[in-house]
């Protein structure tokens, strides 16, 4: 059995050598082998047309002598299969991949409670049972990102697709918000807790109102994103008293040795 992509070149070279230098019997055998090689083309080539009955090779005589080989009229050694530069078989053209068609089970948006995630998802153009593409999943991520930015939600968002087992490519698309802040880039400390916060530059809202807007409570754990989430609360509070106005909110963070977190909020209100 031949290995796919190989050719008869080496066998033919040996046969020709025997035909030139061997005994009369070997020369006759070489002639027969040459004719046999011609009947089996290399991979990807068509076999030559069959020869006529008259175009045959005479057998060797009993005395060990053989008449000259007649050859095979019109038969040519087929070309070798295509090879790469290093001599290996050339790769077959890759088959075109067809993207699967997905059917939507539903959307989910999590990672923040500063916005009505259900309302944002409800505005997406696809609904349960609709066909959806990867491009549309990304377009929806851009729509959600714009809505979150408008609501002052800070951080990153990831997209995951969960496919149900079985046929049909039924998927659940999950968008997850990951708030970022100074704690995200600080050394991880599982014992971090909220100590206190102060405010400066605020005139439209009192310190008590802003503190309530942050949602921070003394002694609570401070995971990554806690300060970013608190900043969102402050900016949303200002949206209610100064709609359409831009308020700059910055938080100066101090991490103490006792694992407490102190925050000084510096607020610049529009004039």
Residue 248 pLDDT: 96
One domain, residues 72 and 115 = no
Residue 181 pLDDT: 87
Residue 88 pLDDT: 66
Digit-coded pLDDT (tens) for 171-230: 999 999 998 888 888 888 899 999 999 999 999 999 999 999 999 999 999 998 999 999
Asked if pLDDT for residue 152 goes beyond 50, the answer is: yes
User: Contact, 108 vs 120, CB < 8 A?
Assistant: no
Residue 271 pLDDT: 86
Instruction: Give the mean pLDDT of the chain.
Output: 77
Could you give the C-alpha distances from 123 to 108, 133, 136, 244, in angstroms and in order?
A: 13, 17, 14, 22
What's the average model confidence in pLDDT over 236-264? Answer: 95
Q: Is residue 89 part of a domain?
A: no
Digit-coded pLDDT (tens) for 71-105: 444 445 555 666 666 666 766 777 777 667 899 99
Q: What is the largest CA-CA distance in the chain?
A: 123
Give the end of a domain, one of 161, 178, 195.
178
The label of the residue with tokens 């300060």 reads 227
One domain, residues 110 and 161 = yes
User: From CA 232, how far away is CA 222, in angstroms rounded?
Assistant: 15
Q: Is residue 96 part of a domain?
A: no
User: From CA 202, how far away is CA 215, in angstroms rounded?
Assistant: 18
Give the end of a domain, one of 81, 116, 131.
81
Helix or strand or coil: residue 227?
A: helix
Q: Is residue 93 part of a domain?
A: no
Phi, psi for residue 167 in degrees, rounded to 5: -85, 160
Residue 68 pLDDT: 46
Q: How many percent of the chain have pLDDT more than 70?
A: 65
Asked if pLDDT for residue 247 goes beyond 90, the answer is: yes
One domain, residues 171 and 193 = no
CATH code, domain with 262: 3.10.20.310
Q: How many domains does the chain have?
A: 3
One domain, residues 30 and 69 = yes
One domain, residues 111 and 42 = no
Which domain, by its residues, includes 18? 1-81
Confidence of residue 56 (pLDDT cuts 50, 70, 90): very low
Give the end of a domain, one of 20, 49, 81.
81
The label of the residue with tokens 């102190």 reads 262
Residue 72 pLDDT: 43
Q: Is residue 86 part of a domain?
A: no
User: From CA 153, how far away is CA 140, in angstroms rounded?
Assistant: 17
């Amino acid at each position: 059995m031949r290995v796919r992509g190989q050719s008869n070149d080496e066998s033919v070279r040996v046969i020709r050598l025997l035909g030139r230098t061997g005994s009369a019997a070997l020369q006759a055998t070489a002639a027969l082998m040459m004719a046999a090689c011609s009947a089996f083309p290399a991979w990807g080539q068509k076999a030559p047309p069959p020869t006529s009955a008259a175009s045959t090779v005479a057998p060797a005589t009993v005395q060990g002598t053989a008449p000259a080989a007649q050859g095979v009229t019109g038969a040519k050694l087929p070309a070798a299969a295509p090879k790469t530069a290093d001599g290996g078989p050339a790769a077959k053209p890759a088959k075109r991949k067809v993207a699967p068609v997905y059917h939507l089970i539903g959307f989910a948006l999590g990672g923040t409670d500063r916005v009505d995630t259900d309302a944002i998802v409800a505005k997406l153009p696809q609904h349960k049972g609709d066909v959806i593409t990867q491009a549309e999943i990304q377009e929806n991520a851009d729509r959600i990102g714009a809505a979150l930015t408008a609501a002052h939600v800070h951080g990153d968002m990831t997209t995951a697709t969960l496919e149900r087992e079985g046929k049909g490519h039924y998927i659940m698309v999950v968008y997850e918000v990951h708030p970022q802040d100074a704690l995200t880039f600080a050394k991880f400390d599982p014992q971090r807790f909220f100590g206190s916060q102060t405010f400066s530059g605020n005139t439209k809202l009192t310190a008590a109102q802003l503190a309530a807007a942050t949602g921070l409570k003394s002694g609570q754990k401070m995971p990554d994103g806690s300060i970013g989430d608190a900043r969102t609360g402050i900016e949303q509070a200002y949206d209610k008293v100064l709609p359409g106005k831009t308020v700059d909110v910055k938080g100066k963070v101090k991490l103490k040795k006792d694992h407490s977190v102190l925050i000084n909020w510096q607020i610049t209100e529009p004039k």
